[in-house]
Structure 1
Amino acid sequence: MALDAVRKTFEKEGIANRIIELDESSATVADAAKALHTEEARIAKSMSFLVDDQVNIIVMAGDVKIDNHKYKEYFHKKAKMVPFNEVEQLTSHPAGGVCSFALPSNVNVYLDRSLKRFKTVFPACGSRNSAIELNISELEHYSSNVQDWVDVTKLA
């Protein structure tokens, strides 16, 4: 289970005790915000995309969506999401629980600048009912295979 892999990674870092396991779903931004008693914008949603055969996860604020023009300008390809039924196979995390932690080495992570306006954000931890509150430096530090900070979103 992906949550176990994230927990194991976080145990090595000394932060596993900060994982929040919820009784209700946090699979969508709205569900996560409600369960965590925070605003939707502070949910750090992780979306998985394909650029040719490369799987990229973009972590962004909960109140933004991909700006197709900015995405194509940065990646030189049209945004193509990983098909729902392939998400877990390609990222090792289930759809609704995708996060930037404990990823396979061939999955790249990009952090969107929309997150930088917050002191802390809540990314998932590999399941549809988990999260952790991290400051932006921690998010960057604990995320796997971080490639860059990008600006590829716009307000939803």
Structure 2
Amino acid sequence: MRKPRSPSELGFDRYDKRRLQKAIEASTEKRVYIRLQSVLLVVKGLEVPKVAQLYAISKRIVYRWVETYLQHHHPSSLLDAPKSGRPLVAPAITPGRILGVLDQNPFSLGYRYNVWTVALLAQHLNKLYGCGISRYTLYRRMKAMGLECKRPRYIYEEKEVNRIQKKGRSFEG
């Protein structure tokens, strides 16, 4: 059986432990935290197979993280790469701002209605914050917030039976 190599034999310097500990304290994402913690355990002398068993991941992944760290000797090398995709639409419209607008009466803001509809709310938020959020996007965000969106209920008036419809000027006396 092979003798386990010490951290200095693997290529770690004396400052790596401190760098990794500071990065762990500052990390907010779980995935990055596990990567940094795994490499720190290897720096402290724990064997890679034991680290892999501790986090229930493969040894190959831990070796890859250690190798990536040793190439740069900086914790930022273990961060997630930027994700591709479309950026967030209307980041200024936060759940708190949506709730703040929903607490107000649309009639008091100058609208003809007493109830917020998704379309009316989207129009108001676009005017208020100057960003284009569609009704569908706003609907999805409100649903994710746990808000129930209902369609407006229009009431059609029945014509009176005896009412005479005006069609213009009448010349009757």
Q: Given the two structures, how large is their TM-score scaled by the length of structure 2?
A: 0.22
Q: Given the two structures, how large is their TM-score scaled by the length of structure 1?
A: 0.23
Indicate the structure with greater strand content.
1
* Higher RCO (Cα < 8 Å, 6 or more apart): 1
Indicate the structure with greater helix content.
2
